[in-house]
Structure 1
């Protein structure tokens, strides 16, 4: 397992040759400059649009905040990605990567005032920061990590949080393949069908309450108590 955001010599040569964007390769779990998503056990069975999320380096390696003081590298915590969204680097506040590899003095300033020469520079700084953070599903989670990276990159010049990030990937993400779509949707269909069949209205009340409480927590924590959910 890789522990640092370093490119091997072959990848570095590709970058220097101007091929800064590699191709999507789901078989090798490579999604360059992308956000990736996978369902969470149990939670996604009841709410299929809530899942685990990560962000990828320029070489396609996935990074995800998976536990206290731990950013997972090239080992997506809850199995292979089922959805992804590749992000064009020219949508960052200042384009990253191309001019830097050609030797030009073209950098981006992050929120802390440091210079970011490449997409990976931003991800490295965020990884180093989250390696010293506690993990909590409700206050500092994988969405916090990805939103933090997008804010550091000033992607679309937007202010990202866990709510608009979840909506963004829900509306714009692409399925990796049909099997991935079934892996995400089928458990929800089975659980919901069995719940309604065996529990009837009681199950529907439980499902509605569970969904409302979980979504309501993140809405309130994001827009009403702004220091509650960390970014």
Structure 2
């Protein structure tokens, strides 16, 4: 019996060791793969990735129609700006900036800002120089997208909202000027022109929903009002656009930024 035990112990030991080693390797591989996958997914930069279904528009200026006003003038709407993670910051009331709550509905149009247009990121060496007290003058004006938005948000949380003098366009212009995007000089007029001329529609459905009320009201107005309706529409557009043009370019600081 002793011999049998010795054989049973002596012979299978190397085999058991090999099998055990293989099993350990398989277990390590099965543990490593999910972790590696999670690491890859975690390290994928979230910026520059938009997801309209979740209302995420990374580093974007976003636009949606306004009730009544956009039904008469479809180029007028509500505009705001989103953080790097895509969350929208919305200045839509006195002393209040909404986070992740676009007041007047889903985003219909957006324009993604090219962050290469302004200096935002420091290299690791530059960070070390700033922390050590050197090269501070060269880097003190550099900022990140989110830090600029944070400063503007803090400022507008103490601003009184007024659709004529301090509105959502003012908030977006303030952010872009803080980042010196394309040299700065942004105001409510060129911000509106920017989204109108360079904005992208989220979908064809968004475009139809934005313009459908105007088309219906326009043809109804022409049918029942004729020239009187066209006169009213032209007068309304002239007064609204003229107000912002005069307040921006003729009376400095009248429209707040």
Q: What TM-score does the superposition give when structure 2 sets the normalisation length?
A: 0.77
| Kept after mapping to 2: 8 A contact 1:83/1:176 | yes
Offset of 1:117 from its aligned partner?
3.8
The equivalent residue for 1:10 is none
Offset of 1:114 from its aligned partner?
6.8
The equivalent residue for 1:221 is 247
Offset of 1:51 from its aligned partner?
0.3
The equivalent residue for 2:215 is 189
The equivalent residue for 2:87 is 61
> Which structure dedicates a bigger proportion of its chain to helix?
2
Verify: 1:144 aligned to 2:170, yes or no: yes
Verify: 1:83 aligned to 2:130, yes or no: no
Counterparts in 2 of 1:165 and 1:154: CA distance versus 1, 3 Å: same
| Kept after mapping to 1: 8 A contact 2:95/2:156 | yes
The equivalent residue for 1:74 is 100
| Kept after mapping to 1: 8 A contact 2:143/2:179 | no
Verify: 1:179 aligned to 2:214, yes or no: no
Name the SS of the counterpart of 2:58 in structure 1. coil
The equivalent residue for 2:146 is 120
Offset of 1:227 from its aligned partner?
1.5
What are the superposed Cα offsets for residues 139-183 of structure 1, whole Å, 9 maximum, x if unpaired? 000000000000000001130000011001100000000110011
Counterparts in 2 of 1:226 and 1:37: CA distance versus 1, 3 Å: same
Offset of 1:90 from its aligned partner?
1.1
Unaligned runs of 5+ in 2: 1-38, 131-135
1:47 to 54, 73, 79: 73
Distance in 2, Cα, partners of 1:184 & 1:91: 30
Q: What TM-score does the superposition give when structure 1 sets the normalisation length?
A: 0.85
Moved over 6 A (4+): none
Name the SS of the counterpart of 1:59 in structure 2. coil
Name the SS of the counterpart of 1:37 in structure 2. strand
Name which structure has the greater RCO, CA cutoff 8 Å, separation 6+.
1
RMSD between aligned residues: 2.2
Distance in 2, Cα, partners of 1:80 & 1:223: 32
